[in-house]
Amino acid sequence: MNIGLVGLGIMGKPMARNMMKAGYSIKVFDIVSAAVDEIVAAGAIRGESTAEIGATCDVVITMLPNSPHVQAVVLGEGGLVTTMKSGGTVIDMSSINPSVSQEVAKGLEKIGVELLDAPVSGGEPKAIDGTLSIMVGGKKEVFDRFLPLLKTMGASVVHCGDIGAGNTTKLANQIVVALNIAALSEALLLADMAGVDPNVVFNAIRGGLAGSTVMDAKAPMMIAGNYKPGFRIDLHIKDLENALSTGHLVGAPLPLTASVMEILQNLRKDGCGSDDHSAIAKFYEKMAGKKIGRD
């Protein structure tokens, strides 16, 4: 199996490393040549273009920022549809609008190529240790064929339904994560301003019903004021834009999502778009004039 990977950003690079660690040979391409150099130095084969990746690989994984990038790489001029052979498969692991996944699948179907939409959750730390949660849409038989490959990158790999189901599941995930971070920000700030150490509150409640993976990952960052990005605010804005768009399309009310979106947009306006999404806490700190656990 000849595997190609297009997209070597904050997630794509560690995912490439984990596939190679599991014994797979991969050919990589990114418009940032330094990223390609880094992964080639780790053992990958250098790809010269998206078109070349498509022409020489049976399966092509894409890990790109948003819907327009996926449309361009797969369906655009010099895209995968121009060179991939019938019988191939594209596994798009980007987090995009489900309707775009369906559009891309139709474009690939015309040349006899299958699509899986397989977005991930877990951010850079879980990409590095290979324990991502991978949500997959597409034909079950195609999913089964590539399950061993996907398991090199994820601890949880779940078939969610037809094309678009993977990205719909990812949008649901991103709603839950965003609302959890906002609730955690409010809770820790309340505790701090009421005179209770946020570290004590965190350790007291993390084992109960309020406890979550989000809390374990983000509470220490908030208390330390460490907003080094594992998943940037700008990317969470993109995901919630897709969630709200999908909600409008299917008629699902998303008032809490809309509220958190306003918080994220305010943070972007304040220059925090490249911060980790745990920096939602900064919005509350700004309103309260108090840093959680730090003054």
User: Annotated catalytic sites, by residue?
Assistant: 170
DSSP conformation letters of 234-294 = HHHHHHHHHHHHHHHHHT---HHHHHHHHHHHHHHHTT-TTSBGGGHHHHHHHHHT--TTT
Give the distance from CA 235 to its chain's centroid.
Answer: 8
**Residue 229, C-beta contacts closer than 8 angstroms, at least 6 positions apart:** 10, 124, 274, 275, 276
CA atoms of 275 and 267, how far apart (whole Å) = 9
39 close to 16: Cβ distance less than 8 angstroms: yes
**Residue 93, C-beta contacts closer than 8 angstroms, at least 6 positions apart:** 11, 15, 61, 62, 63, 118, 119, 120, 134
CA atoms of 188 and 232, how far apart (whole Å) = 21
Residue 72, CB-side half-sphere exposure with 13 Å CA sphere? 11
53 close to 79: Cβ distance less than 8 angstroms: no
**Residue 40: burial class (beta carbons within 10 Å; 0-12, 13-18, 19+):** middle
Q: Which of 215, 134, 125 is nearest to 179 (CA)?
A: 215
Task: State the pairing for strand pair 132-137/154-161.
Answer: parallel
